[in-house]
Amino acid sequence: MNFTLKAWRQKDKNSEGQFATYTATNITPDMSFLEMLDAVNHDLVEKNQEPIAFDHDCREGICGSCGMFIKGRAHGPQKGGAACQLHMRSFVDGDLITVEPFRAKAFPVIKDLIVDRTAFDRIMQAGGFVSVNTGGVPDANAIPVPKTIADEAFNAAACIGCGACVAACKNASATLFVAAKVSQLALLPQGQAERQQRVEAMLAQMDKEGFGSCSNTYACEAECPKEISVTNIARMNREYLKAALG
């Protein structure tokens, strides 16, 4: 398969970026999108040109590193998968593929397709944790958690913090990310101690970072590689209302 790649090139945070066009040749349908980028970069290096910089790590949809906007979609045209899980068979031979970084004020572009997502880390530092005394490992099942609740918490915990929700949202809002973290900890017994201040602190940090607010378009749920439900946003809103009035 052959493709024309229109990729965003930006030297660094302070430089202006622009699109550059490349050709990706001899691509097999079973290659992942990142492997296709590897092949393009291989050609660029051979020609003594700067390769396209992009984030990646595990390449199996778990680490949340490889966020990029492919053909107008966060992580590309697939449901429930990260860019590393996107295969080239999802495209038609000869396609023009536009690839650009996630765009949000809170996610400044560092280089080419790489954005700075440390805003998410600061939201987590604001309240996405539980404070527990260290010590011996507690016995399994010492704290009973009903199966349905555990499942709900686990679904929320599946969030890999890739930022696709921010990228897809018309307001560049991090609401689904915050809602997943708040939900996960609000559902479990370990999260109860800091339950009230957590939701307020994380949402305040979200606002402070320059993310937008939720317009309930649910684009985040549709584009989330882990298919995190917007039910978590409803739960977070309840948590916030209880915390703020309580």
Partner 1 sequence: MGTLTNIYRSSVGKKFVVALTGLFLCTFLVEHLAGNFLLFVNDGGASFNEYSETLSHNVIIRTIEIVLFLAFFFHILTATTLWWRNRKARPDSYAQNQKSANSTLASRISFLTGSIVFIFLVIHLRTFFVPSRFFPSENPSMYTLVVFAFSNGWYCLFYLVALVLLGYHLRHGFQSAFQTFGIRGKNYQSLIEWIGVIFWLLIPLGFATMPIYFFWTTHFGG
Report the interface residues with partner 1, using CB under 8 A. Answer: 6, 8, 19, 69, 71-73, 77, 98, 100, 103-106, 168, 170-173, 200, 203-204, 206-207, 210-219, 222-223, 230-231, 233-241, 244-245
Q: Which is nearer to partner 1, 11 or 42 (CB)?
A: 11
Long-range contacts of 59-65 (CB under 8 A, 24+ apart): 59/32, 59/34, 59/84, 60/84, 60/85, 61/85, 61/160, 61/225, 62/160, 63/160, 64/160, 64/161, 64/162, 64/163, 64/225, 65/162
**Minimum distance between the CB of residue 172 and partner 1, rounded to whole angstroms?**
4
Kindly provide the b/e burial profile for residues 214-237, where b requires at least 16 CB atoms within 10 angstroms of the residue's own CB.
Answer: beeeebbbbbbbbebbbebbebbb
Pick 190 or 231: Cβ nearer partner 1:
231
The H or E element containing residue 111 is strand 109-111
For the chain, the first-to-last Cα distance in angstroms comes to: 60
Kindly state the smallest distance separating residue 215's Cβ from partner 1, in Å.
Answer: 7
CB of 179 to partner 1, least distance (A): 10
CB of 88 to partner 1, least distance (A): 18
Task: Select 55 or 239, whichever has its Cβ closest to partner 1.
Answer: 239
Based on CB atoms, which residue is closest to partner 1, 104 or 228? Answer: 104
Closer residue to partner 1 in complex, CB, 128/212: 212
As measured in angstroms, the least distance from the Cβ of 103 to partner 1 is 5
Taken as a whole, the chain contains a residue count of 246
What CA dihedral angle connects 117, 225, 129 and 127, to 10 degrees? 60
Minimum distance of partner 1 from residue 153's CB (angstroms): 17
- Considering the complex, state which of residue 77 and residue 189 has its C-beta at the smaller distance from partner 1: 77
Beta-sheet pairing, 96-100 with 3-9: parallel
Query: Rounded distance, CA 6 to CA 95, Å?
Result: 11
Least separation in angstroms between residue 150's CB and partner 1 is: 18
CA dihedral over 162, 163, 164, 167, signed as positive or negative: negative
Q: Which residue has the tokens 């699109």?
A: 19
Residue closer to partner 1 by CB (options 89, 242) is 242
